[in-house]
Structure 1
Amino acid sequence: MSGDHRQDGGDAHVEALSAITLATHDMPRAVRFYEALGFRMLYGGANEAFTSFALGASYLNLTSETHGPIQFWGRVIIYVSDVDAFYRKAVAHGIEPQFTPRDAPWNERYFHLTDPDGHELSFARPL
């Protein structure tokens, strides 16, 4: 392939499903529910806007939606080999991510995009 191959993120690839994020109107209730099922909390809590539970080698995240009916169903988080290269790959194919890659306080580098049917996908890599 040409020398430009790396610039478009062509070497970046999907590695694993990292997490699924679900929206909730009532974080305390949702946290109690998942704790009752034995899920181990890793981040956040009943009084936080974002909570993450261990789910085997993956994660179940909860995000608080506080206004009106839940408009946001959730998000699938996919681990990739190189977040920035994967971002460049998406852009090179005419896909418009919601923002450029950034580092999160939960120790991941990530960016989001929306598929043609409105499903939010997050591409991430642990820092």
Structure 2
Amino acid sequence: MNLPSAGTEPEIEGLSAVTFSTRDMRRAVHFYQALGFSLLHGGENEAFTSFALGRSFLNLTTETHGPISWWGRVIIYVSDVDAMYRKALAAGITPAFTPRDAPWNERYFHVSDPDGHELSFARPLS
């Protein structure tokens, strides 16, 4: 194991995982599988579930006490925003709006998971 030398500044390398709480693991697992997320660990009858998200992970943990409230948004780059939008519609998921080009040079749309966590599917514009 190579340890950095004292005094070197750490670098941010990327996002490892995002973990969402859910009150209904079965419903949440079905939602993410309908969007094409690959199940790596856990499942609809487990308290903790992980999905592949490129080289990162999206985790779900069962929350049985306290309120679950909106905390922000996860932005997920995809190869084709419009195809992802069509996939969401085909799965019976209603996006907040149709894909649009943003002034910050991305094409994107938003959906909310069954617990209100907002996902933005995006791709940089060429």
State the TM-score, normalizing by the size of structure 1: 0.46
Q: Which structure dedicates a bigger proportion of its chain to strand?
A: 1
State the TM-score, normalizing by the size of structure 2: 0.46
